[in-house]
Amino acid sequence: MDDRLLPSPERVLRAQLCRDMWHVLVQWQGMPSSDATFTPKSLQFALSTILVLQHYLARSNNQMILNKAISLRGCRFFTPIEGNKLICLRAVPGYISYNFVIGAYSYWGPKAGRDIYHMASADLMFGGITIVCGIFGTLAGGFILDKIDSTISNAFKLLSSATFLGAIFCFGAFCFKSLYGFIPFFSVGELLVFATQAPVNYVCLHCVKPSLRPLSMAMSTVSIHIFGDVPSSPLVGLLQDKIHNWRSTALTLTSILFIAAVFWFIGIFVQSVDRFNEQSGVPVVERSNLRPLLDENEDTRTS
């Protein structure tokens, strides 16, 4: 297999403290200064080492040694920009799948409840469960994400685990023949499923530049409606017309939550950079003219 080179940093522009951790703004070789990204402190030493090697090897015109030193055979590395694009591609399809199920639940849920469990007030029952679980589930998702350290990777962990467990409970709820078994299982399932609201919006906001946040949220919102809850109701209706069994229809619909969990699980392993705290107000020219921190450190040592 061909060697794949790590994205090489050109210089460190500045540093800032975020959530009790220092991040450095790195400009990558071959990329414009507008694509500079913040890198956590854990990678600062590695980046500084590469920059020092580049500084001294440039004098001897022996860049090949550096390229071999920072390359790994048979591995695929993404630049932070590529990683963030893949993050969006993993977050939105999962969000669409999730919204597909929720939209169909809200429309066909009462009808299925009356047919399967002979609910006297199915609209009130499903509406009450959705409202209560929606409020507490959304708040719980945000609270848990704050407690486990708000990062894109942790957000995907919460998304995949909550959706997977919620899918199990909702799927199991429709397997019960008794209404008294359905209600608690379905309530817990919806509570878990609604816990995804905070982390999925966190991902959509933190994987793009500050200037692109409105566009990111707009595209996410439009996508989940166009491909999610808008077509879900007629498609589920067509399925029911074909099989004439509300329990099987509900179980098939709920299975789509497992697809959402898979999409979000893959997002855990995609390299990404949290770009939420980048200062979009600094002009590109001004940012590129900032003195690298590495040079300042060298001046301090020589003096």
Task: Express as a percent the part of the chain with pLDDT over 90.
Answer: 44
Clarify whether residues 284 and 200 are in a common domain: no
190-204 per-position pLDDT tens digit: 999 999 999 999 988
Burial classification of residue 30, based on how many CB atoms lie within 10 Å of its CB (0-12 exposed, 13-18 middle, 19 or more buried): exposed
91-109 per-position pLDDT tens digit: 888 999 999 999 999 999 9
pTM to 2 decimals?
A: 0.65
19 located within any domain: yes
Note down the domain range covering 97: 80-267
Clarify whether residues 179 and 296 are in a common domain: no
Clarify whether residues 212 and 250 are in a common domain: yes
Q: What is the mean pLDDT of residues 77-87?
A: 44
Q: Where are the alpha helices (DSSP H) in 118-227?
A: 122-147, 152-175, 179-194, 197-206, 213-224
What average pLDDT does the structure give for the chain?
A: 76
200 located within any domain: yes
Clarify whether residues 62 and 140 are in a common domain: no
188 located within any domain: yes
CATH code of the domain in which 231 resides:
1.20.1250.20
CATH code of the domain in which 7 resides:
2.40.50.40
Neighbours of 139 (CB within 10 A): 14
273 located within any domain: no
Total domains in the fold of the chain: 2
- Say whether pLDDT at 86 is over 70: no
**Phi, psi at 28, each rounded to 5°:** -95, 145
CA 107 to chain centre: 27
Clarify whether residues 49 and 104 are in a common domain: no
Q: What is the mean pLDDT of residues 20-27?
A: 65
Clarify whether residues 61 and 84 are in a common domain: no
